[in-house]
Structures are given as C-alpha cells and as structure tokens.
Amino acid sequence: MNELLKQLAPIPQKRPLLPELTPEAELALLCRVLYKEGYSDHIAGHISYKQDDGTMLVNPWELAWDELTAGDILRLDSNGKVIAGGWNVTPAINLHTEIHERRPDVKVIIHNHSRYGTVWANAGRVPPVYDQTSAQVSGELRLMDEYNATVNESSEGARCAELLGDAKWALLANHGVLVVAGSISQAYLRAATLEWRSRTAFEVEALGGGKPLPEAMATSLGDMIDGNGFPFLWEAMARRELRTDSAILES
C-alpha cells in the first residue's frame, strides 16, 4: 500500500478534483461531511480553522453542522472575538484559542460529541484498533478521564489544552472527542478514522470480542497514511456533499 500511495500522490490531475474553494467553504464542507460521519449532536460542536493572518474561522453557535454554508462562517481574532460574520461564536471558543496558542502546528481543531467516540469516552476506555481503516492514524488516542466542567469554563479549556499536549486526538470523559490537524484534509481523515474506529470496536465487542491488529502493524499503517495523507479522500467526500447541495459554497 505504501508503494500505491507513492504512485498515486504525484499523478497530475487532468481536471480539478474540487472547484476552487474559499477557506470559509472548506470549513463549511468539513462540517457537512463530518455530520454524516456521526458528528451530529444537534447544534453541539465547533471547528476552528486558523488562517495565515492569525485570525480563525469558526462555525457559528446557532446552526447545526448539516445546514452550514460558506456565508455562515465567522472570522475571529486571536482572542476569540468575532470580527466578521452575522452569528454568535460558541462560549467554548477558549478551548480553541488555548490549543492554537500552544500548538503552532495545529491549523484545525474539532470538538464534538460524535456518536460512537462519545460512547467510548463515557465508558472511560480507548477503542482497540480492529481493522485497517481504524489504523489510518497513528499515535496515542489520549483519554482525559475526569470531567470537571464544561469546556466553556476558561480553566477547563486550558486544562484540556495542557492534557492534549502533542497528541493528535483525545477522548473527553463523559463528554465527547477532540481532534487536531495541520490541514482540512488531515482533519477529515483523523476525525473520520476516530469515529470509524470507535464504531467498529463497539460492534466487534458486541459480538463478543476479536483480535486487534498488532500494535506495530497499526502504527506502521497510521504513520504511512496519516503521514502522507490519504490521496483524494477528502476531495471525494467533499464532492459527494456538493452533489447533494451546491449552496454550501454560497458566501
């Protein structure tokens, strides 16, 4: 598979995989596709997308992820204050500002109460890796195993940022999930992999259990796929959403 990824990635495209997207459209699309992956707890959840000028793009508080368009996306300053947009920002924006401040490598932060990821977070357990798709991202899935307050509390946002450290993702006990990434496409891969892994592990254990992938094999797969990026995956999922509703791109 490593050779396949090496062969596929450099191939010049005869036609664009996606239309030219503004950063606002990228974020709206990410919200839409993740909603269908299970990141769908009503209006809960927020994604920040840090820009080169230091500002952040964020989905608004009032809207569910499956109804967003590019024109709904807010722009915030580095302190989390709205500087452009017609909606309100989540009270939990401090979680994003705290992580962005500590992690210059992080461009995208996702927090939600995904269906199966939250089951494992509530159980205080990390889902085993049972299949190749669950192994697409390597690294410790960190478990923050104490629920002290909602993340809109300033102290809890800072605490989550500290506990996340240099990890790619985490389960928040009795709460939900947290995923960080260096790009929109990487954020999609990590968030989708986390929910797939969580759902698959739940189903396997419901059957009585199974044999997880050897740790070395899972790590090797994750290093390869997450490290190189999964060619064309994000674009395919974004195209699927655009076929359903091209109004996502409206500013």
| Residue ranges of domains in the chain, CATH in brackets | 2-8+34-245 (3.40.225.10)
> Which phi and psi angles does 7 have, rounded to 5°?
-75, -40
Q: For residue 63, how many C-alpha atoms fall within 13 Å in the half-sphere facing its CB?
A: 21
Residue of 202, 227, 29 whose CA lies nearest to 119: 202
DSSP 8-class letter at 65: G
H runs (alpha helix) in the chain: 2-8, 23-37, 93-102, 115-123, 154-164, 184-206, 215-228, 233-244
- What's the pLDDT score for residue 165? 95
Calpha distance 175→121 (Å, rounded)? 7
pLDDT in tens, the chain (251 residues): 555 555 545 566 677 899 999 999 999 999 999 999 999 999 999 999 999 999 999 999 999 999 999 999 999 999 999 999 999 999 999 999 999 999 999 999 999 999 999 999 999 999 999 999 999 999 999 999 877 666 666 677 888 999 999 999 999 999 999 999 999 999 999 999 999 999 999 999 999 999 999 999 999 999 999 998 999 999 999 999 999 999 999 98
Q: Are 59 and 34 spatial neighbours (Cβ–Cβ below 8 Å)?
A: no
Which residues are within 8 A (CB) of 151 and not within 5 positions of it... i.e. 6 or more apart? 92, 94, 95, 111, 157, 160, 172, 175
The type of residue at 117 is G
- In contact, 163 and 99? CB cutoff 8 Å: no
**Contact 75/87 with Cβ under 8 angstroms?**
no
pLDDT at 145: 85
The residues facing 171 across adjacent strands are 143, 177
